[in-house]
Amino acid sequence: MKIAYADPPYIGCAHLYKDHADFGGEVDHEFLISQLESIYDGWVLHASSVSLPVLAPMLPEGARIMAWVKGFAAFKKNVSVAYAWEPVIVKAARKPVVSKRLVNRDWIQESITLRKGLTGTKPEKVCHWAFEMVGARPDDDLVDLYPGTGAVTKAWKTWQGLFTLPGWSLSGRTLPTEVA
């Protein structure tokens, strides 16, 4: 399966990345979502909470708005209510079967990253959770559409090494299961 991971500059925030090599100005989210739908089997899209009224009408059937709750979040001067959660929109490629977790949740709590080279770099645990929620398997093709620091690709490699399911192997062959 082909899985996309999209963590673009949030609506109205592209200016924060003007000095980055990948800078392309404001992202056309309507076009992005149409591309995610037409090219990929499943996808993850990070967004800001204030962008939900704009993004929600663009979402296809089957997409689910999940939440990354930030146990530690940056507080901004003159902002009276902290931005301490982010929507993570997931269109699963297949039914998620979560590896090494007891419960599937539509949210994760993890603090923000600090000093990773780029504002908004996602923590490894958030990426791992998103891979599981999109129903990814280690032999899927993951395309990081906004590579930034490379954190998502690095998280994909560590997650591939952690993934386990009974009767499954990285080569894609089904392993024999015991018969009682």
Domain boundaries, the chain: 2-162
CATH architecture of 2-162: 3-Layer(aba) Sandwich (3.40)
Number of Cβ within a 10 Å radius of residue 81? 7
What span, in angstroms and rounded, lies between the C-alpha atoms of 131 and 158? 11
What span, in angstroms and rounded, lies between the C-alpha atoms of 149 and 154? 9
- pTM for this model (two decimals): 0.84
List per-residue pLDDT tens for the chain, 180 residues long.
999 999 987 887 666 666 766 767 788 899 999 999 999 999 999 999 999 999 999 999 999 999 999 987 777 788 888 888 999 999 999 988 765 654 578 999 998 887 655 666 899 999 999 999 999 999 999 999 988 878 999 999 999 988 766 665 656 544 434 333
117-161 pLDDT, tens per residue? 566 689 999 999 999 999 999 999 999 998 887 899 999 999 998
Q: What is the CA radius of gyration of the chain?
A: 17
